[in-house]
Amino acid sequence: MHMSRNPPNGVHFRPRLTRFSPARMTYCGDLKGGERRFSFLAWARKVGAGKEELEKPRRPEGKTNISRRVETVTREEKEQGHGTAFGATDDRGRKRIKLKEEQTSCASSRDAQREAYAACVRDLLSSYRDYNCEDETSCVTSSPRKKVKTTSSADRLASIINNAVSIPPAAKKWTDPVQGLASIRHEFGEHGGVNMSIEASSTFTVMEPETLSKMFAGQLGHERDFYIYSRHFNPTVLNLSRQMAAIEGTEAAYCTASGMAAISGVLLQLCSSGDHVVASSRLYGGTHALLAHFLPRACGIKTTFVDIENADAVRSAITPSTKVLYFESISNPTLTVANIPLLSKIAHEKNVKVVVDNTFAPLLISPARLGADVVLHSISKYISGASDIIAGAVCGPAELISSMMGLHQGALLLLGPTMNPQIAFQISLRLPHLGIRMKEHCDRALVYARRLRKLGLKVIYPGLEEHPQHELMKELRNEGYGFGGMLCVDLITTELAYDFMRHLQNFSQFGLMAVSLGYHDTLMSCSGSTTSSEQSKEEQQKAGISDGLVRMSIGFTGSLEKRWSQLMEALISLKLIPEKASWQD
């Protein structure tokens, strides 16, 4: 199986070493296409300790199956009077000699296997010379190559195993999030499967009682494959978390049971009673309710809502007690595009953390590369892609993620919004084709938006030139992923919006009336009475949410032209456009 030669951006490329299972494997060997693999943490430690340790057996080998067979034959022969174990000359004696030779041959084979493993490690370590590496913990491709610091294989391996350092910032190391995802290490299954195994255990064993004490003291952790309990860290969830960090270009990430769990966990970790949050007035209704009602009542954390398009208003709202500036990269539902670099600069000047919800724009926008400190996702939406999973993710600095999972004060650990490993496994399988799905969502949304606009309807879509942040979106977005898969049609009145959606679902079969987004079929909802109903009418008006605003998550099933004809049928039936109206140039 060919693996990418590129190491993770800013991440040391190292074999995954496990304590117990000799079958669990991660790619190892010649990074130019070799397929040798190894595991055995105990054995690897011996290699790191020195060559002389390699010669020592991993475990007593005197009681192998073959040696037991020799002892059995010997005991039976003694009982039958055939002489001593190595003094007999009959058939049974020859059988004993043959078995003894077989045992000796197997011992030599094990020595050869250990030497092969050692060669594998040496190949892996020598492969670092293909990269611009000052050490094994920081590799990025570069040309021309720098001279690599030369140390012994034992020292280098010991460094990999024993120095679990924080991953350095990676946000500036790539320009394509899909390539970032493709470059991270690939986890094999327990028995060599191409997909990582699901670690469904709630608790984990150790070999020595002292190990548990060290784990609870923080001396041993998941970086070295020591796990306590799945509410703390789980290997399968960690694998998905590494993928999310690679997509967003952050140091670390951890996944949660829902998007709201990710949002509340971050805010409760960064803020304490008496602290203050500045937030956009254009937010998902659930987030608005959390900030406006729950946090002030239950935690004493107050929020000031501002128009983030007004930089002076944002700057004025920040007080000495402000800890977080919170907004969405593309707002729900009005599709306002946030000026992330400018807002981040304003916040950082006053030592305020910037938290961005990027649910509407996975792959399209990379907030961490634009200045944000923390990036949040509702994985339930585009990343899941099937409307069958509830999940979330927090992507940010390793220090923050570690603190959120801390045994004594970590918000995610103590509140317990734990992701199911089965869910993590399913999402990991869907991430590789997220880029393909997002491009199709965005391409169709742009076509529909342009045609609807030519028909005279009021359309909100960042890809339209008349959108207030169209030029900003062009500057912020990653090339090749479009302007988003969400568009809004403003029909002014609730009654007309309801009739429009009813016809699209029940008659023309264009889409489905449902909240959420990212599904393969088009989903439609009237935001004012559904996902933004937590806001008062006055707050909705300030946010630009009219009674007839229909939010549409554009799907990609069926042919584009067939779906468009279904949409036209509804518009004509409701007399929203003339029967012979033309959308063509």
The model's pLDDT over 52-81, given as tens digits with 9 standing for 90+, comes to: 444 444 444 444 443 344 444 444 444 444
Spatial distance between the Cα atoms of 175 and 338, rounded to a whole number of angstroms: 20
Residue 427 contacts residue 389 (beta carbons within 8 Å)? yes
Exposed/middle/buried for residue 310 (C-beta within 10 Å: 0-12, 13-18, 19+): exposed
Domain 234-432 fold is Aspartate Aminotransferase; domain 2 (3.40.640)
Neighbour count for residue 212 (Cβ, 10 Å):
15
Pairing of strands 523-526, 37-38: unpaired
pLDDT digits (tens, 9 = 90+) for 183-226: 888 889 988 999 999 999 999 999 999 999 999 998 999 888 89
Q: Give the pair of three-digit tokens for residue 109.
A: 């084979």
Distance, CA of 520 to CA of 511 (rounded, Å): 10
Q: Which residues contact 520 (CB under 8 A, 6 or more apart)?
A: 385, 386, 437, 555, 556, 557
How far apart are the C-alpha atoms of 327 and 356, rounded to whole Å?
Answer: 5
How many C-alpha atoms does 437 have within 13 Å on its Cβ side? Answer: 23
**Interacting residues of 232 by C-beta distance below 8 A, sequence separation 6+:** 405, 407, 413
pLDDT of residue 58: 45
DSSP class of residue 308?
Answer: T
Separation CA 357–CA 342 (nearest Å): 16
Residue ranges per structural domain of the chain: 1-165, 202-230, 234-432, 434-573
**CA-to-CA distance for 85 and 89, rounded, in angstroms?**
10
- Could you list the pLDDT tens digit for every one of the 585 residues in the chain? 334 333 433 333 334 434 333 333 343 333 333 333 333 344 444 444 444 444 444 444 444 443 344 444 444 444 444 444 334 445 555 555 555 555 555 555 556 655 655 565 555 444 433 433 434 333 333 334 344 444 444 454 444 334 332 333 455 566 689 999 998 888 899 889 999 999 999 999 999 999 999 999 989 998 888 999 999 999 999 999 999 999 999 999 999 999 999 999 999 999 999 999 999 999 999 999 999 999 999 999 999 999 999 999 999 999 999 999 999 999 999 999 999 999 999 999 999 999 999 999 999 999 999 999 999 999 999 999 999 999 999 999 999 999 999 999 999 999 999 999 999 999 999 999 999 999 999 999 999 999 999 999 999 999 999 999 999 999 999 999 999 999 999 999 999 999 999 999 999 999 999 999 999 999 999 988 888 888 888 888 888 889 999 999 999 999 999 999 999 999 999 999 988 888 875
Cα distances (angstroms) measured from residue 581 to each of 456, 459, 575? 10, 17, 11
Model pTM above 0.85: no
The SS3 call for residue 421 is helix
What is the CATH topology of the domain spanning 434-573?
Aspartate Aminotransferase, domain 1 (3.90.1150)
**Alpha helices, H only, 416-528:** 421-430, 434-454, 470-476, 494-506
Q: Report how far residue 450's alpha carbon sits from residue 459's, in angstroms, rounded to the nearest whole number.
A: 9
Mean pLDDT of the chain: 80
pLDDT at 583: 80
Q: Is the dihedral of CA 360, 364, 365, 366 positive or negative?
A: positive
Number of Cα atoms under 13 Å in the Cβ half of residue 282: 21
